[in-house]
Amino acid sequence: MDKDAKPLSERKNVTRLLTDLHDTLKGAIKLLDSANWMQRAAKLLIDVGDNKNLERNASQLKTEWAYVKGFLEDIMQITENLVPDPAMTQQRCQSQIEIVRNWDWI
């Protein structure tokens, strides 16, 4: 069937679907970018905190720093797990492109 012979409403649905997919992808990219910046900030805070903790030997400060540092390390671990494998991401994107190309109703 010729693509131009498809009903206009069906073509609009496809356009809407592709627009929604694009918007979702933009949101995911922003989320990953935020996670990357959060990871970098946590690393910086750990480095600065470790340096300050070495300068001061107060036991109360050491206890509080250990708690805060553990929290920051957890943030780093979580954000590290959010980073996708570039090869897998490219393969998934290519698969999605092939699926869209092969839809006979577009």
pLDDT tens track for 40-79: 999 999 999 888 876 676 677 788 888 999 999 999 999 8
The backbone torsions φ and ψ at residue 104, rounded to the nearest 5 degrees and listed phi first, read -85, -5
Question: Is 59 among the domain residues?
Answer: yes
pTM > 0.75: yes or no: no
pLDDT value of residue 31: 85
For the cut 60, the answer to whether the pLDDT of residue 12 exceeds it is: yes
pLDDT value of residue 54: 66
Cα–Cα distance, 1 to 32 (Å, whole number):
41
Question: Is 14 among the domain residues?
Answer: yes
Domain count, the chain: 1
Displacement of CA 34 from its chain's centroid (Å): 7
Quickly state the pLDDT bin for 29 (edges 50, 70, 90): confident
Question: Is 36 among the domain residues?
Answer: yes
Question: Is 3 among the domain residues?
Answer: no
Question: Is 2 among the domain residues?
Answer: no
Question: Is 55 among the domain residues?
Answer: yes
Q: What is the DSSP letter of 105?
A: T
Question: Is 1 among the domain residues?
Answer: no
pLDDT value of residue 40: 94
Q: Which two tokens stand for residue 62?
A: 């050491």
3-12, 31-40, 54-63: range with lowest mean pLDDT: 3-12
Range of the domain at 51: 9-102
